[in-house]
C-alpha cells in the first residue's frame, strides 16, 4: 500500500496552504517576510482569477506538504513552462519520498500541458534541498542572476 497520496488542492485547503507557507518561511528563516493571509490565499488561488495552483501531499492520510506553482513562458522554446514557487514537506516527514512524489506529480502536469520545462529557485545555503534536486537530475542555472522589483518600488519606476 502506498502511504503517499498527491492531490489537487481545493478551496477547503486554504488554512492548510497558509500553514505550510508559514512552515517554509520558518525553515528558510524568512518568517518576517510573510504578509500572506488566508483571505489573500483564497482569493488568489481559488477566486475568479487564479494565479497559481497547489498540489498537496498526504502521508497516511495526513497532509504533510505541498507544491505551489504557476505557468511561465519560454520565448526560446515557444512553450509554456511551470515555475515551482514552493516545495515544502513538514520536517518530520522528510526522507520518505514525499518531495520526490510532489515533483513527479508536477512533472506529470508539465507533460500533460506540453510544458518545455519546470524551474524553481533554491537558497544558496539550503544544501539538503540542493542535494535533493541534483539527485533528481536538476541542474543549477548559475549563469543567470535573478532580479526582483517589489511593489514598494513600482512608483519609483512609474514616476521616473
**What are the pLDDT digits (tens) for 119-152?**
999 999 999 999 999 999 999 998 998 888 888 8
For residue 133, indicate whether it is catalytic: yes
Read off the CATH number of the domain in which 138 is found: 3.40.630.30
Q: Which residue has the higher pLDDT, 148 or 106?
A: 106
Predicted confidence (pLDDT) per residue in 19-67, tens digit: 999 999 999 999 999 999 999 999 999 999 999 999 999 999 999 999 9
**Residue 41: domain span:** 4-158
Q: Domain tally for the chain? A: 1
SS3 of the chain: the string is CCCEEEEECCHHHHHHHHHHHHHHHHHCCCHHHCCCCHHHHHHHHHCCCCCCEEEEEEECCEEEEEEEEEEEEECCCCEEEEEEEEEEECHHHCCCCHHHHHHHHHHHHHHHCCCCCEEECCCCCCHHHHHHHHHCCCCCCCCCCCCCCCHHHHHHHHCC
Residue 105, pLDDT score: 97
Active-site choice (18, 133, 147, 154): 133
Amino acid at each position: 500500500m502506498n502511504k503517499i497520496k498527491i492531490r489537487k488542492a481545493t478551496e477547503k485547503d486554504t488554512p492548510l496552504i497558509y500553514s505550510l507557507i508559514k512552515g517554509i518561511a520558518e525553515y528558510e528563516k524568512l518568517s518576517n517576510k510573510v504578509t500572506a493571509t488566508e483571505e489573500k490565499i483564497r482569493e488568489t488561488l481559488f477566486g475568479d482569477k487564479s494565479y497559481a495552483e497547489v498540489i498537496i501531499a498526504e502521508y497516511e492520510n495526513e497532509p504533510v506538504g505541498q507544491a505551489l506553482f504557476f505557468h511561465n513562458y519560454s520565448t526560446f522554446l515557444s512553450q509554456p513552462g511551470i515555475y515551482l514557487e514552493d516545495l515544502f514537506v513538514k520536517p518530520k516527514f522528510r526522507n520518505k519520498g514525499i518531495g520526490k512524489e510532489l515533483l513527479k506529480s508536477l512533472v506529470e502536469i508539465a507533460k500533460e500541458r506540453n510544458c518545455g520545462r519546470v524551474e524553481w529557485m533554491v537558497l544558496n545555503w539550503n544544501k539538503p534541498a540542493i542535494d535533493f534536486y541534483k539527485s533528481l537530475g536538476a541542474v543549477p542555472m548559475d549563469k543567470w542572476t535573478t532580479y526582483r522589483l517589489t511593489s514598494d518600488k513600482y512608483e519609483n519606476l512609474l514616476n521616473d
